[in-house]
Structure 1
Amino acid sequence: MIVDAHHHVWTADYPWLAAPGLEPLRRDYTLGDLAPSLAEAGVTATVLVEAGRCDSAETAEFLALAAGTPWIAGVVGWASLTDPALTATLAGYRALPGGAKLVGVRDQVQAVTDPDHLARSDVRAALTAVGAAGLTVDLIVHVGQLPGCAEAARATPGTTFVLDHLGKPPVAAGAHARWRAAIAPLAACPNVVAKLSGLLTEGGPGSGPDTIRPYVDTALELFGPERLMLGSDWPVCELVTTYAGALAALDACLAELSPHERSAVRAGTAIRTYALEVGS
């Protein structure tokens, strides 16, 4: 079984798509575009993740999509960690069509310039509230924010955090040691799991299994297979490879694991962390 724990869909009018180098992604990406690739790769179920519009209406749309799509097992929607009405926002999401498939929320913390953002009292209260609602907090951050993530995770042990893209390591720059030092304290927190996703994109054109293997190996060492899950990061991955290519590169990096360990990374961790209802 394979669970793709991180993919998107979007329309081409997302403001962030205007950034240089993202020209190939400036089109609509739909579930219809993705479905053939899932079948080709043998993917059983997926988690649809908010795509940076930072709009509650997008989360409502994604939940509706999930309601009509059996293979979408969960949705990570958008929510602001500074929303004073966050608890009501989460309850509102759950009352929508598809609301039962809401498994987590994500704020675009990577865009925040305040280095103490995750230490703010209102943000810490929000992190606690998400955990109390039985949802995960997905962390989309850069390497410089990883120490703050570790502090927040230690301060809110009742909340499960999911680190997207291993914290965006500087693969292209080869700065493995700096990234390892930053992520190790976060990996030491038992309430944190991480996604093997987005690594080829961080490596840039021409990246393959050998490019990302040091980062995957370090993640396996620090987190262990039981706290790692794989994700395609489609369609962002199409900047450097196909959907099948993204999963194949990760699979190559997992080749030396035992069958049980590979099963955890390929499906088990995502199913357990997000409480997904996925067939055997």
Structure 2
Amino acid sequence: MIDAHHHLWDPARREYPWLAGEALAPLRRPYTVDDLRAVTKAAGVHATVLVQTVSSASETEEFLAIAAAEPVVAGVVGWVDLAAPDVVDRLAASDGPLVGIRHQVENEADDDWLLRPPVVAGLGAVASAGLAYDLLVRVEQLPAAAALAERLPYLRLVLDHAAKPPIAAGEWEPWASGVAALAAHENVVCKLSGLVTEADWTGWEVGHLRRYVDHVLDVFGPSRMLFGSDWPVCELAASYEVVLDAAIALTGSLSDAERLGVFEHNARRVYGLDASGETPSRG
């Protein structure tokens, strides 16, 4: 089993602007490799993809060093300044199992940020480097993500957290239509991740998530879905094992082969992980 989306951080080492506010106070402590090893071992997860948390090249370097030393971390989705004129050289200089790039586009005020010419050029370099690009976007940014997918059909795009559906509010549109339009592009896959924290943190049930999960399974298909815990963010609403159990329950209608894809094989294919979960050369 592969967890295709989790984080590590240490507030004593750097600032995490998104952790501000009283609601996120429980997360403002270090989450270490030792913590990761404990929760994954208990859940039966044998490999993970460690995902960036801030726009920091130094964090990416630290994550790559962790992945090189820790067997459970099979790959890193890091950060690079996509608009930098030397972005090609920066990507080539990365040392370690870099499998993807992400920027927290959801924090950009410009809903068309992904379509800015320097960003598109940088994403072309990401594709040429054999890397995936994780899409962390708001619902309002889904049209730009779909336009990007059409413009760069050779770039593997990974939609994080199913674009954060408004589960707690019980809303449906424009999220459902936006996700469906993005899924129409075959170079986009979707992570079954981050949904418990889009629901009511203290009162959610698996049934509250089902309509949204059924929709992404329908528009993407099981072969373009991959499981991610979003640990430790998920701890605001549920433990690691509870999140995994919910994902297993929500994919209960799939065949054994389809579930094997969601929980292992699709992550291997999308991020270039071999059968052991380790990272081969890019391409």
TM-score class, shorter-chain normalisation, is: over 0.9
CA distance in structure 1 between the aligned counterparts of 2:113 and 2:276, rounded to whole angstroms: 39
Aligned to 2:178: 182
CA distance in structure 2 between the aligned counterparts of 1:208 and 1:229, rounded to whole angstroms: 21
Say if 1:86 and 1:126, in contact at 8 Å, map to a contact too: yes
Taking the TM superposition and a 5 Å limit, the aligned residue runs for 1:116-195 are: 116-195=112-191
TM (norm. structure 2) is: 0.94
Decide which of 192, 198, 202 is 1:196's aligned counterpart: 192
Aligned to 2:246: 249
The CA deviation at 1:86 is: 1.1
Letter in 1 for 2:135: L
CA distance in structure 1 between the aligned counterparts of 2:167 and 2:188, rounded to whole angstroms: 22
Aligned to 2:107: 111
Q: Which runs of 5+ in 1 are unaligned?
A: none
The CA deviation at 1:249 is: 0.7
| Residues 40-89 of structure 1, C-alpha deviations (whole Å, 9 max, x = no match) | 1110100000012x110000000000000111111000122222221111
Say if 1:45 and 1:278, in contact at 8 Å, map to a contact too: no
Aligned to 2:259: 262
Aligned to 2:32: 30
The CA deviation at 1:167 is: 0.6
The CA deviation at 1:15 is: 2.6
Q: Look up the SS of the partner of 1:21 in the other structure.
A: helix
Letter in 1 for 2:35: D
Letter in 1 for 2:83: T
CA distance in structure 2 between the aligned counterparts of 1:207 and 1:261, rounded to whole angstroms: 26
Aligned to 2:226: 229
The CA deviation at 1:208 is: 2.5
| Residues 88-125 of structure 1, C-alpha deviations (whole Å, 9 max, x = no match) | 111121xx3xx2x1000001111111122122111111
Say if 1:73 and 1:278, in contact at 8 Å, map to a contact too: no
Letter in 1 for 2:170: G
The CA deviation at 1:275 is: 0.7
Say if 1:227 and 1:269, in contact at 8 Å, map to a contact too: yes
Range moving further from structure 2, 269-278 or 55-64: 269-278
Aligned to 1:88: 89
CA distance in structure 2 between the aligned counterparts of 1:278 and 1:73, rounded to whole angstroms: 11
The CA deviation at 1:182 is: 1.1
CA RMSD of aligned residues (A): 1.2
Taking the TM superposition and a 5 Å limit, the aligned residue runs for 1:49-60 are: 49-52=51-54, 54-60=55-61
Letter in 2 for 1:11: D
CA distance in structure 2 between the aligned counterparts of 1:118 and 1:210, rounded to whole angstroms: 34
Range moving further from structure 2, 80-89 or 251-260: 80-89
TM (norm. structure 1) is: 0.95
How high is the sequence identity, in percent, across the aligned residues? 49
Q: Look up the SS of the partner of 1:193 in the other structure.
A: strand
Letter in 2 for 1:21: A
Range moving further from structure 2, 81-90 or 197-206: 81-90
Please identify runs of 4+ aligned residues in structure 1 that moved more than 3 A. none
CA distance in structure 2 between the aligned counterparts of 1:109 and 1:84, rounded to whole angstroms: 20
Aligned to 1:70: 71
Aligned to 1:18: 20
Say if 1:5 and 1:229, in contact at 8 Å, map to a contact too: yes
Query: How many aligned positions are there?
Result: 273
CA distance in structure 2 between the aligned counterparts of 1:133 and 1:85, rounded to whole angstroms: 13
CA distance in structure 1 between the aligned counterparts of 2:194 and 2:155, rounded to whole angstroms: 24
Range moving further from structure 2, 17-26 or 163-172: 17-26
Say if 1:195 and 1:230, in contact at 8 Å, map to a contact too: yes
Say if 2:37 and 2:72, in contact at 8 Å, map to a contact too: no
Q: Which runs of 5+ in 2 are unaligned?
A: 278-283
The CA deviation at 1:233 is: 0.2
